[in-house]
Amino acid sequence: VTLSGGGGGLAMASRGCRCSSGGRNDKVADDGDNGKTCQECKCPRETHAVYHEQLTSVRERLGFKHDTNTSRVDPRQMGYTWVPPGILTSAKIQRYFDVIPSEKVPKIGTQGERFRDKQLVYQLPKQDLALDYCKHVEEANRSSYEDFVAARNEIALDIGYVKDAPAPTGCSGCGEGLAQGEMAVTAPKFRDQILWHPRCFRCTTCDELLVDLTYCVHDDQIYCERHYAELLKPRCNSCDEVSGGDLV
């Protein structure tokens, strides 16, 4: 089976996946961007129902409990599918989106809404989140997979939120300054003093904005869940599942 690991798309051998394609899938082809396209209808996989069981809240998708940092503003009343946690007023929410590229702002009925949908599927693949969504993890590797998920959820996976910088500091992404009181993103797995500009809270591997501020930490760097997993586990190029085995 051909797998990709380490976030770089390198082919690696593993005995952890038993999908029937043997690493190939005549119905699916690499689209050169973020995964596969259906060879029958030519549409991206995220438009298919099996991939598009999207939940409005990433917290629900991850099984996280309600957090006090969650905005009290209903995003749909403001015309968005998501608003950043930590912001409690509509005026600040608008300020946040003003510094995000317009094509990535999740406004209902726009390119930004579709971009968020796509990134939810790509950055947070459901088959990475729980064994229930996997079809090809071998029985011998199930315990290893469960250990990986438990450890990731405990030490690496979390959701950032927005707050005003308490003092002048540097952005952990671009290195440029953040003024006291300037809107910034904080990640609970890091020290309180570690902050990012909203536009700089990106995956170290794919350099995309972290969807709904959801991140994993590894060696003091932030990643989307997909690329965090690929630092530690091989991924099958066909079924897109991570193996219970280790990189070889």
* Angle, CA of 46, 35 and 154, to the nearest 5°: 85
CATH numeric code, 157-222: 3.30.60
Q: Report yes or no: 17 and 237 within 8 Å, Cβ to Cβ.
A: no
More reliable by pLDDT, 18 or 126? 126
Q: Could you give phi then psi for residue 60, rounded to 5 degrees?
A: -65, -40
- Strand, coil or helix: what is 55? coil
- Most confident among 68-72, 116-120, 239-243 (mean pLDDT): 116-120
CA-CA distance, 199 to 181, in Å (whole number)? 17
Residue 40 has pLDDT above 80, yes or no: no
Q: How many Å apart are CA 157 and CA 164, to the nearest integer?
A: 23
Q: Per DSSP, what are the bridge partners of residue 13? A: 2
The pTM is what?
A: 0.78
C-alpha–C-alpha distance, residues 185 and 86, integer Å: 9
- 166-218 confidence digits (pLDDT tens): 999 999 999 999 999 999 999 999 988 899 999 999 999 999 999 999 999 99
**Residue 61: which residues within 8 A CB-CB, separation 6 or more?**
54, 55, 120, 124, 126, 129
d(CA 94, CA 87) in angstroms, rounded, equals 10
